[in-house]
Structure 1
C-alpha cells in the first residue's frame, strides 16, 4: 500500500468517532493479506491495494458516522472483498485467515484466482478472525 492510499483510508476512518483505533490497522492488515491477488487474477492490470482500498471505502460509506465496532465488524465480516477472493492451487487453496496471498503463491502453483459471488471465508469465521484482531473483544 502506498502513502496516498494509507492516508486516504485513515482520513476516511476519522469520520467514525465511535470505533476502535485498531480498525485502520485491521483494514491495512486485511488488505495486505490479499496483496498480489488482484494482480494474479487480472494479469497485472490492476493492483490489489488500489482495488481493495476503493472497495473498502465504498463499503464503509454505507455506515452512518455513529457506527460502532459492532457495526464495522458485522459489515466487514460479511462484505469485505478479500473474503470473496479465491485462489486454487494444485495441492492447496489459499485461506486469507491463515497466511498472506503472496506467501501462499510462493509455496503453491496457482491454478485459478477468482473473486467469487459467495465468500470463500464464511462470515462467522471472518467475524471470529476480526474479533481476535480487535484484541479478543467480542463485538
Structure 2
C-alpha cells in the first residue's frame, strides 16, 4: 500500500500501526474517533487519540476534542515537527464512570532532524457527555 505524507511531513501508512502506541492498526484504533464514528471511552483513550491526531495532522479533531472554555479559535501545527512516540506515565480517574481525570505522558517528536520530548500532566473532563482535553496542570 502506498504511503501518503501527513501535514507533519512524516510518511503514514493508513493501514499501519496507530501512532498512539497500542499496536493496533490506525483504521481500527484512533481512526474511528478521528472520523467522529466513535467516542473515546476514557481520559487515557482521549489522550492517545489526541496524540495520534497531532501525528497525522488532524486539527479538526484536536479542536473538537478540546474543552470549549480553553479551546483556541484556530490551531496551526508546525509542518516541520513529526510526532513519533507516546508514553503514558500515569492516569488517575478518567474512567467510564468518572467525570474528570488526569493523564501524565511524554510525547516524543523530531524537529529539524533532532529528537525532542514534551512532558505534560493533562486534565480531562466531560463536556456534553464526551471526554475532552481541558488543560495542563502546572509544573
Give the TM-score normalised by the residue count of structure 2. Answer: 0.30
Structure number with higher helix proportion = 1
What's the TM-score once normalised by structure 1's chain length?
A: 0.30
**Greater strand fraction, Structure 1 or Structure 2:** 2
